[in-house]
Chains A and B, each alone.
Chain A
Amino acid sequence: MNVKIIVRGKAKGTVLCAENPVNFLGGIDKTTGRIRDEHHDLFDKFVGDKILVFPKGIGSSVGAYTIYSLKYNKCAPLAMVCLNADITTASGCAISNIPLVVAQKKDYESLKDGQEITVDAIEGKIL
């Protein structure tokens, strides 16, 4: 599928799909990558070394630093796929060199938990 490139790069890995938007600051433990918001559908799951597929980032602007901390603490997603890229997620990925793409709705919905994919944010494709 063709995707819009927000932050360039390339990564291959397993999809972790979130139904709910992600508030990086309150919602993810920056030292372990564990989702700690108990109201979130990915509660208690780890985002590290996954391709994180989620609708958009929400909440605190400091969430951008959480993304950077995840990378620094080696528990960041390999790449992210969003339905709507927000400023917090885009800027956090840009500083942290995490590939970020936006997929169209029907393509986005076809991505399934556990699927192996390659996010090519240089050519603008998911394989």
Chain B
Amino acid sequence: MELTKEEESALAGKHGETLALAYRVLVAIGEATGADKLIPVEWAHLSGVNYNTIGDAGEKFLSHLSEDAKFKIKTTVNPMGFDSDSVSKFELDEEFIKKQQSIRQSYEKMGAIPSFSCIPYEIFELPKKGTQVSFAESNAAIYANSISTLKTNKESAFSALASALTGKSIYSDLRDDESRKPNLTIRMKTKQKDELAYGLLGYFAGKKAGSSVSISGVKELDRRSCKSLCAGMGTSGSCGMFTFGEEEKGEKIDFDDKEMKNVKDELNTAESGDVITLGSPQLGLEEISDLTTKLKGRSFRKRCMIFCPRAIQGQVRNLGYDKELSRAGAEVLYDCCICLTPLIDKENVDSVITNSVKGAYYLRTSNGVDVNLKNLDQIIQEETK
């Protein structure tokens, strides 16, 4: 990879240890993806915020980094472990709360916008078409490339952090138009067409695809199904974007009822659950509005946790959605999400009901609880009265 003189001297440590570390990461990912140069990026979205995901090692790393590091570009961050307003209602130990607050402070000290959201594409104004950004959250990277007309690789927590510190990333893979062309088409052929089917399709496609994939047989996708597709895809593989339609060239694979059942059987491990969770990815205002309508005159028989970004809290209140959801027996939690939440613990919960394929994967592998996967309409039909 060709570096400018300035980049070479930063890599050699002439501008401090932090920048040297950031450039070491950029050079490693450049070598890994065959990049020939670095290019400017305008926005970094970081993962690695929830203490449950990064642990003591991550907390100490960020605390040390924040002693002198400053982000060079607009930097937003993923959800953390809890909502500070309601954390006292959960039995979280003091140590967790302390470490999480330290992580939060480190990011803010370096200049991050405290967004604590996995749906930056829904709550921030988007830059113009084709802008290079650096999104680490996998559902956000896929959504940005496929729907928001931005360009990003499927960044890692450290590669996006390196972008935030340097304002740069590598020119390769999905940043290069040539590499964005899919060489695989997945044909959507299931009878069921809802957010769960699209989440399972995403999970299936992510396992089969390289950097990008084409999806045929889809006419219109609402926001819920689209986010579910992106999140499912980001969970199972290394694929960072999709296009709609059928490629003339390349392999074609059918995603039919049989394939969908196989994927569902891998992720669905319970017939029912003790708690309902909605919001991986977090629900935006549009989905909250839709959910409120669906819940008119009904109330949950079980505990229901809904995860949202703080950015919509004002509108959720002003439009009366919070009152309506609370009446229906649901709790709205801001700044956090289902994935690796410390709020669901296998000591207290055996199984969780959700419509999120991504949530199902992490609840099972990380929280160690069983999962009952069903779509939102079925959840409302079966779990409310």
Contact = CB atoms under 8 A, between A and B. Distances in A.
B292 interface: no
Given A58-B236, A61-B47, A92-B156, A30 B24 contact: no
B238 A64 contact: no
Interface in B20-71: 21, 24-25, 27-29, 31-33, 47-48, 50, 53-58, 60-61
Contacts of A89: 32
Interface string A61-73: 1111110110111
Contacts of B309: none
Interface residues of B, number: 45
Interface string A1-15: 000111100000000
B279 interface: no
Given A72-B57, A87-B154, A94-B24, A61 B138 contact: yes
A21 B236 CA distance: 10
Contact of B138 (A5, A60, A68, A85): A60
Interface stretch (B177-185, B361-369, B370-378): B361-369
Given A6-B31, A59-B237, A94 B25 contact: yes
B136 A68 contact: no
Contacts, number: 138
B156 A26 contact: no
Contact of A62 (B25, B47, B162): B47
A6 B32 contact: yes
Interface SS majority for chain B:
helix
B303 to A, nearest CB: 24
Contact of B365 (A36, A65, A69): A36
B162 A69 contact: no
Contacts of B48: 61-62, 64-65
Contacts of B55: 30-31, 65, 69
A37 B156 contact: no
Interface size, A (range): 35 or more
Nearest to B137: A61
B53 A5 contact: no
A27 B365 CA distance: 7
Interface string A90-121: 11111100001010000000000000000000
A90 B35 CA distance: 13
A95 B25 contact: yes
Nearest to B172: A87
A62 B159 CA distance: 10
A57 interface: yes
A86 interface: yes
A75 to B, nearest CB: 11
A112 B31 CA distance: 26
A50 interface: no
B322 interface: no
Nearest to B160: A61
Interface of B: 21, 24-25, 27-29, 31-33, 47-48, 50, 53-58, 60-61, 136-138, 141, 153-160, 162, 206, 234-238, 266, 340, 361-362, 365-366
Q: Lowest 8 CB-CB distances: which A-B pairs, in order?
A: A72-B57, A26-B365, A85-B32, A94-B28, A91-B158, A88-B156, A90-B32, A69-B57
25 contacts: A6-B28, A25-B53, A25-B340, A31-B55, A36-B365, A37-B365, A56-B238, A58-B238, A62-B50, A64-B156, A64-B158, A65-B53, A65-B57, A65-B158, A86-B32, A88-B156, A89-B32, A90-B31, A91-B25, A91-B28, A91-B156, A94-B25, A94-B28, A95-B21, A100-B28
